[in-house]
Amino acid sequence: MADKKNLRTPIVCVMGHVDHGKTTLLDKIRGTAIVSGEAGAITQHIGATEVPIDVIINKLGDPRLRDRFIVPGLLFIDTPGHHAFTTLRSRGGALADLAIVVVDINEGFKPQTYESLQILKRFKTPFVVVANKIDRIGGWVSQKDLPFAATFKKQSEDVQARLETKLYEVIGELYNQGFAAERYDRVTNFQKTLGVVPVSAMTGEGIPDVLMVLLGLAQKFLEANLHYSAKGPGVGTVLEVKEEKGLGATLDVILYDGTLKKGDTVVIGSLGKPIQTKVRALLKPRELSEMRYESKFKQVNKVTAAAGVKISAPGLEGALAGSPIRVATEETLDEIAAQVKSEIDEVRIDTGSVGIMIKADTLGSLEALVHEFQKDDVPIRKAEVGDISHRDAIEASTVEDPLYSVVIGFNVKVHPDARDFLQESTVKVFTSDVIYRLVEDYQKYVKEQQE
C-alpha cells in the first residue's frame, strides 16, 4: 500500500439539472459541520470545498468506521449546471474521480440530468444518485439530519409508498439510460449497481447515507489510483480565467497532482503558444464562504493536491479554460511546454476541408462535442474554444454543402458583427448549453435537408 500521508484527496463533482439542489446539498454538508463546531476543519477552495475524513466519520456517528477508510477526505466541486465536469478534464479523461448526480425526486429527469449521465457513462466515472427534496413529498414529516432509514421508518405507510413510487420512477429512468440502479440500501455490489439515496438537502435527511456511499466509492477509487500524490511537481486544470480588480487576469485552478508553490514556473495552455509564467501569488478564499461570492483573498505559499486555488501571474490573458497547467523547472520547461501544446492540439481541429464548425467555452466541452459529432461520422472543418466571431461566420459561409455550412456553439456568444453577417447568409447556427441538444438539433436538421 502507498504511503497514506501522500494519498491525495479524491475529487467529487456535483452534477445535475439547474435548481435540483446541488449547492444546497454542499451547504448542508458544510453547514452541519459549522453547527457541530468543526467549521475550522473544512477548507474552502476556489470553486471547491474540502471535507476531511474525520468530519465525515463524525457525521456517520460510528467512530469504528475510522480505520476502514484510508481516504484523507473529499474535495467537492460545485459549479452551476454540469459544466465543471467537462471543464475539469485531464489528458484523455475526466478529472473528477467521483460524482454525485442530484435529481429532484418530484420533478424527475431534466435535460442536464441526462447530460450528466451521458458524460459519466463516457468517462466511466463512479457516481451516486441523490434523489433530492424528499421533504416535498406530500405528507412527509421531516426529521432533521437523520439517516434515511431512520426517517423513512417514521413516515406513514402512504408517504412511504409515495416515496417508493417516485424513487422507482428515477430508477426506471436510470435503467432507460443504461444503468442498473437500486435504492442504495438494497444494493449489494456498488460496482454493478448504482446506488440511489433519497435525501433532503434542506433538512439534512439522508446526508449521512450519501457520505457513506461516497466513501465506499472513494475507497475503491483510491485502491485503483494510488499513483496520484500530493508530492512532486503540480499538475492541474484551469477551471476559469477571471478578471479580478487590481490583479488583472487570474486563473481558478484545480490542482489534481503534486504541489504548486509561489514563485513556481508554470506552463498553461492557450490558443497560441503555451503561456510560460511565474506564479506571483496563490490565493484562497478568506474564510468559510463560497469563493465565487467572495472578493477578498488570502495568500498562501503553497497548495497540495487535490485543491482549488486562484493564481495571479503576469500574462494570463490568453489562458484557456479546461486547459492543463503544469509546474516546470529550467530543465523540464521545453518538454512540458511541448506536452501542453500537443494536448491542446489534440482537442482542436483546423482542417480547412468541408465540415461543420464547432465553438465551445472550454477545452473540455469542446472535446466532448467533437467526440459526439465524430461518433456520428459528421465531418468537422474546425473546432475551437471561443465565441462565434465575424471570421467564423465568413468561413462557415464559404462551405457550399448546406449540411456542413453550419456553426455549432456551446455556451458561447455570437459577436454582433457575426450575427449581422449570419442573418444575411445561409449559414445554419445552433447554440445551446446542453451538448446532446446540439447533437439532436443537428441530426434533425440533417434529416430535414435530406427529405
Residue 17 marked as a ligand binder: yes
Q: Please say whether the beta carbons of 256 and 233 come within 8 A.
A: no
d(CA 387, CA 112): 22
18 interacts with ligand GTP by CB under 6 A: yes
d(CA 38, CA 40): 5
x-marked contacts with ligand GTP along 36-75 as a string, rule CB under 6 A:
----------------------------------------
Alpha helices in 225-348 (DSSP H): 333-347
106 interacts with Mg ion by CB under 5 A: no
- Containing 87, the helix (H) or strand (E) segment is helix 83-87
Measured CA to CA in angstroms, residue 350 lies from 146, 381, 384, 431 at distances of: 55, 6, 8, 20
CB-based burial of residue 168 (10 Å sphere; 0-12 exposed, 13-18 middle, 19+ buried)? middle
Q: Which does 277 bind (CB under 5 to 8 A by kind): ligand GTP, Mg ion, none?
A: none
Measured CA to CA in angstroms, residue 118 lies from 125, 197, 335 at distances of: 11, 20, 35
Shortest Å, Cβ 15 to Mg ion: 11
204 interacts with ligand GTP by CB under 6 A: no
State which of positions 15-54 bind Mg ion (CB under 5 A). 22-23
Give the residue closest to Mg ion by C-beta. Answer: 23
Q: Between 201 and 370, name the residue whose CB sits nearer to ligand GTP.
A: 201
x-marked contacts with ligand GTP along 131-170 as a string, rule CB under 6 A:
-xx-xx----------------------------------
Cell 453547527 found at: 35
Q: Which does 19 bind (CB under 5 to 8 A by kind): ligand GTP, Mg ion, none?
A: ligand GTP
Total residues at interface with ligand GTP (CB under 6 A): 17
Shortest Å, Cβ 252 to Mg ion: 16
Selected binder of ligand GTP within 42, 201, 255, 393 (CB under 6 A) = 201
What strands lie across the sheet with 98-104, from one edge to the other? 43-45, 48-52, 73-78, 11-16, 98-104, 127-132, 194-198, 181-183
105 interacts with ligand GTP by CB under 6 A: no
433 interacts with ligand GTP by CB under 6 A: no
11-16 and 98-104 beta bridge pairing? parallel
Q: Which does 269 bind (CB under 5 to 8 A by kind): Mg ion, ligand GTP, none?
A: none
Q: Between 43 and 112, name the residue whose CB sits nearer to Mg ion.
A: 112
406-410 and 428-432 beta bridge pairing? parallel
Selected binder of ligand GTP within 34, 35, 68, 80 (CB under 6 A) = 80
32 interacts with ligand GTP by CB under 6 A: no
CB atoms within 10 A of CB 144: 11
List residues forming the annotated binding site: 16-23, 78-82, 132-135
Binding site for Mg ion (CB under 5 A): 22-23
Residues in the site for ligand GTP, rule: CB under 6 A?
16, 18-24, 80-81, 132-133, 135-136, 200-202
